[in-house]
Amino acid sequence: MKIKLAHLKQEKNYTCLPATIRIVLKHFKVDIAEGLIAKVSNTSKRGTNLEEAAEGVEAFGFKAIELEEAGLAELVEYLDKNLPVIAVVDAEYLPYSKIGLHAIVVNGLEGNRISFIDPALGERTFIAFAHLLQSLGRSWSLRPRHISQAQAENQIPQKEKIGNFMLNHMWINHEFVESASKQRFEVINPATEEVITTVPRGNAEDAERAVAAANAAFKPWRKMGSLERKEMIHEIARKIREHGEELAALITHEGGKPLIENRDEVEWVASCFEYYAELGRDQIGRVVAPAFEHQMSLVVKEPYGVVACIVPWNYPILLMAWKVAPALAAGNTVVLKPSELTPLCNLFFAKIFAHLPKGVVNIITGYGKEAGEPLVTSKGTQLIAFTGSVDTGRHIAMLAAQQLKKTHLELGGNDPFIVCDDVDVDIAVRAGAWTAFLNNGQVCTSAERFYVLEPIAKKFIEGMAEFSKSLRLGNPMETSVDLGPLVSDAQRRKVEARLAQSVQQGAKVLSGGKRPTQFAKGYFFEPTVLTNVNESMELMRSETFGPIAPIQVVKNIEEAIERANASEYGLGASILTNDLEKAMLAADNIKAGTFWINDPLTDNDAAPFGGMRLSGNGRELGLEGLDEFREAKHILIDYKLEKKSYWFPYK
């Protein structure tokens, strides 16, 4: 099948030229004409004509056609009559430039997906492409640049908006919308420091719109049969896997985590939705023994209502799933507010959630103070589920307390990692490096304090320093890379400041500790191993969230446990040992929501995850995670209505 090129010429009162026609596909497959660009313009302006352009494309097996006096209306008509046609026109002065569209490549061209590359499309041309690609059953994405809410509502039919799936618009009540303020903010690729796109800067008005939609959807969603709801949640998991590569690439582009890790994250997300799809049909309550004759006591668990899910950037869709999946399974509706650093992968879920009833899930974007806080203070939300910093968690708890509103908070960690002297040191080094440096240490349960028993300390420390130097930093889209950049310049500066402070206090850098010199751009930082550290250092007392492994030598397991507990946090803790007695001694005595023995950082959908002390309240995953989104009601039944001896008047 050949690709036909359509060319817009001048028409009356506006200029459609100069234009660049880009060849997007060679066939309706993955085959791409790399670097093939035919320059086409009005000969009086640019001196390049269609014949020359046609010569260039014919060499690649394309057929070029000229629409002599075609304008936008004619192009739409032509496309309707001559499907399939691909005509991607990048024009400087389209008549509908105010609602022009700039495309974004989500994951190149794979399988049956089409992603347009940087065309500025007139709105009518865009609709033509919408009809074209939908008629072909193609999956596709464009990102709008300048489009107002009124123009979107009035000029782009709803099915085109859904088909187009606008990555950089909020999603409220199944509608892609701008923010009330029309303000936007940039999403940056941390590996290149380039702007990927802009997204709406949501505010209190947007939050209330989303909350209203979720409240309107709550009653029918709650009353839906568990079997039907189960099937809808399973469909979410199926669609996640269908779009897995696109999702993984999006997370990589905006968050900097290596693609190979994001593929895992996508699978974990699908698994989480599958788990709660089934669990939501089970464990809905219990029957308890009657207190008196003729009675029955039922304990049922009911959804809260509208849940505000405020999620972080380090595992942006996994930590979303840990909240949204059980919330939906329990019968709640949701307003989702992703981090301002990684909004796109959450906005992608508008496509994943599109089969749900209107308003069941809504997605707003913006900064915490402007878009997140209004969700907390809104009288229309009944539960706040948040993952983030301790300071923000405290603030949320105080705001929610004004309405006695339930909060579910997974906050920071300062996890200890104990290495006993009975282990294979090479294995311990691999485990330690993975736990400290996975995602550049930007994991809530990263190992942030190492306690190594004295007999193996020297070998372990040397091994960690050498192994850290072998880790491969680079483009996170490459599967041969171990570490990408930190998520932002601010995060890198925080890590650098924390490290510099520790060095001033006597810490010794054995490896890393600086920005790598081989990258001109990107928020890269070398994995760092430190010794000569102590509990007086901020590095050892609070969460750093960076690729730093501070190591302390201890005499025995008792000292290791004592030092492990010398923290205000209690999210996770790990031990490496072949001695079950030591392992259980540590597990019994260290304050942590999750304790790993010989396999750190792994999770289980069926087991709870959460923190103690400053690391938060409540649990995610498991039955406990489902119960966070349900409240218990006692229904007492007396089979027989009769006068009771304990009623008034007393005898």
> Can you say how many angstroms the Cα of residue 359 is from the centroid of all Cα atoms in its chain?
20
Whether the CB-CB separation of 633 and 300 falls below 8 Å is answered with yes
**Distances from the Cα of 147 to the Cαs of 73, 156, 161, 187, in angstroms?**
20, 10, 12, 18
Q: What stretch of H or E contains 498?
A: helix 489-504
Say how far residue 165 (Cα) sits from the centre of its chain: 17
Tokens 């507990």, residue located: 565
Contact status, residue 211 vs residue 233, Cβ threshold 8 Å: no
Any idea what DSSP says for residue 530? Answer: E
Q: Any catalytic annotation for residue 410? A: yes
Distances (CA, A) of 64 to 3, 42, 53, 122, 220: 8, 16, 8, 21, 53
Q: Residue 443: phi, psi to the nearest 5?
A: -125, 135
Q: Which two tokens stand for residue 366?
A: 């913006």
Active-site annotation holder among 272, 309, 420, 444: 444
Helix axes 318-329, 226-242, angle to 10 degrees: 160
Non-local CB neighbours of 562 within 8 Å, separated by 6+ positions: none
Q: Which residues are 107's β-sheet partners?
A: none
Q: Which residue has the tokens 């997140």?
A: 372
Beta-carbon contacts of residue 264 (< 8 Å; ≥ 6 apart): none
C-alpha to C-alpha distance for 582 and 576, rounded to whole angstroms: 10
Q: In angstroms, what is the C-alpha Rg of the chain?
A: 29
Please state, in angstroms and rounded to a whole number, the distance separating the CA atoms of residues 173 and 208. 12
Cβ proximity of 461 and 511 under 8 Å: no
Structure tokens that stand for 81 in this block: 């009559």
The secondary structure of residue 370, as a DSSP letter, is I
Q: Does the active-site annotation cover 77? A: no
Tokens of 301: 């668990």
421 vs 575: CA distance, rounded Å? 11
Specify the DSSP class assigned to residue 23: P
Residue 642 CA, distance from chain mean position: 58
> Quick one: the chain helix, strand, coil %, rounded to 5?
35, 20, 40
d(CA 330, CA 316): 22
Nearest to 100 by CA among 82, 69, 126, 78: 126
**Spatial contact of 381 and 306, defined as CB atoms under 8 Å apart:** yes
Catalytic one of 254, 265, 410, 628? 410
Could you tell me the strand order of the sheet in which 143-144 lies?
Answer: 120-121, 101-102, 143-144
List the catalytic residues: 410, 444
